[in-house]
Amino acid sequence: MANDLGARASGVSGPPAAPDAPLARRLLPDTALVTRDGHLHVGGVDLLDLAQEYGTPLFVYDEAHLRTRCREAVVAWGDGVAYGTKAFLCKAVARLAHEEGMWLDVSTLGELQVVLAAGVPPSHVVVHGNNKSELELDAALDAGVGRIVVDSFDEIARLGKLTDRPRPATPEGGRHDVNGRPKVLVRVTPGVEVHTHEFIRTGQEDTKFGFSVASGAASKAVAALELLPTVELVGLHAHIGSQVFDVAHFEEAARVLGEFAAPLGLPELVVGGGLGVPYLNEEVAPTQQEWADATRQACMLAGVDARTRITAEPGRSIVAGAAITLYTVGTVKDLPGIRTYVAVDGGMSDNPRPVLYGSGYEAFLPRAVDAARPKVVRVVGKHCETGDVLVDRAHVPADLSVGDVLATPVTGAYGYSMASNYNKVPRPAVVFVRDGTANVVVRRETVEDLLRLETS
């Protein structure tokens, strides 16, 4: 399975790595350190000790890495830059992003509730969603969220109805403008097709998201919201897709958004998320700063006023590289003349991305991080279907054997957040590591959890 997401983007690949090259160190979290015995330590903790203590599969996040990525985003984009929580959400990560100065972008009631449960002030929450229910909008309005990004004419009607009555004051001041009106943005589709997997492209004309600039729907939405006296229209929003490597796509989207926005003179523009991250040895991605600089410049060239607040909502680029998933090898099956299957104790239930998007990952042994990886195997999970593949052509050390802890790096985004209980496999625990200590932030699911919803 090729890395569909990476391979199709232009300008992403460095020189192809030697097939048996060890794992590129830059795919590991910031605090990764290889000790003299060849073991991988992250956050000052030996990954093999973590596997021993907490079991596998296990998501291990480097807290320092998360904090650094958040700070970089704040430096690059400034006030209002929001972490796209769909990439990975639990209370610990919401708190951390808030502590580091980011706002939080949510797209369902569930995400909103987790973020509020973490203690994030509602004024720093941005609410998205292409089909927000009355219940969701009501909860957002009651909480007094910072921004609501409007996605459809039906939603405008719903908002009109829900804002037509006074709401009790929230404990937190400053949530609405002086007239107590919620601040809203219009989500527009700039008609830009990015080179990424079709399932995660969102800027094109044929999409369920937002209002098209080209068709005139975006202008109509702006006019409708300007006429709605119970909300305050503060800006425009566009998100062109995810795992985008080519800055030119962001520039093009910013140009279309900027040209549409300039005559309106609204104070805010949000360009969504989407910055790609390297998953494979040979992949290279732009930095947060490069993305921000290119976007700003394109907006300015399009005539956007220099005082406009231009921000973004990075998800993957904040959390992906922070985590490693640890598995235990359970079986090694050599099919002569065909291939070798290495089966681990997780699979598509903790990482559905290879199955969904053909995404590629590297694999390595935390006991021998710098070892050559001459053997090509297919790493599969324990689920009852042939498609349950984690790494189609994994390069691994020749002595990999049953009982080994096998790791996949760059699993911090859209892994745990898309995890399932397929085959009644309990979801893994999530551990944050920092300064030599490990903190379980989400415990492993149990059989009791699996039975919790059953009523007879």
Out of 283, 313, 350, 362, the residue judged to bind ligand LLP by CB under 6 A:
313
By CB under 6 A, is residue 273 in contact with ligand LLP? yes
Out of 105, 251, 268, 392, the residue judged to bind ligand LLP by CB under 6 A:
105
* Nearest-approach distance from CB 239 to ligand LLP, in angstroms: 4
By CB under 6 A, is residue 242 in contact with ligand LLP? yes
* Nearest-approach distance from CB 181 to ligand LLP, in angstroms: 23
| 384 included as an active-site residue | yes
CA distances from 112 to 18, 67, 99, 140 (A): 45, 21, 17, 8
By CB under 6 A, is residue 272 in contact with ligand LLP? yes
Closer Cβ to ligand LLP, 54 or 250, answer by number = 250
- CA dist., res. 80 & res. 237, Å (int): 13
Out of 67, 69, 98, 128, the residue judged to bind ligand LLP by CB under 6 A:
128
By CB under 6 A, is residue 268 in contact with ligand LLP? no
Residue range at the interface with ligand LLP (CB under 6 A); choices 55-63, 224-232, 273-281, 328-336:
273-281
By CB under 6 A, is residue 132 in contact with ligand LLP? no
CA distances from 314 to 82, 125, 202, 277, 287 (A): 7, 14, 15, 11, 11
* Nearest-approach distance from CB 267 to ligand LLP, in angstroms: 20
Query: Of 70, 90, 299, 384, which one is the catalytic site residue?
Result: 384
Interacting positions 1-30 with ligand LLP (CB under 6 A): none
Which distant-in-sequence residues (6+ apart) come within 8 Å of 248 by Cβ?
none
Tell me the per-residue interface mask from 77 to 96 with ligand LLP, x by CB under 6 A, - otherwise: -------x-xx---------
HSE-CB for 198 with a 13 A CA cutoff: 3
Query: How many residues line the site for ligand LLP (CB under 6 A)?
Result: 21
Closer Cβ to ligand LLP, 239 or 255, answer by number = 239
* Nearest-approach distance from CB 44 to ligand LLP, in angstroms: 28
By CB under 6 A, is residue 235 in contact with ligand LLP? no
By CB under 6 A, is residue 397 in contact with ligand LLP? no
By CB under 6 A, is residue 316 in contact with ligand LLP? yes
Interacting positions 156-175 with ligand LLP (CB under 6 A): none
Out of 54, 59, 414, 416, the residue judged to bind ligand LLP by CB under 6 A:
414
By CB under 6 A, is residue 240 in contact with ligand LLP? no
Residue range at the interface with ligand LLP (CB under 6 A); choices 37-45, 58-66, 168-176, 312-320:
312-320
Out of 22, 235, 274, 360, the residue judged to bind ligand LLP by CB under 6 A:
274
Question: Catalytic residues, which ones?
Answer: 384
Binding site for ligand LLP (CB under 6 A): 84, 86-87, 105, 128, 200, 239, 242-243, 272-275, 313-317, 353, 357, 414
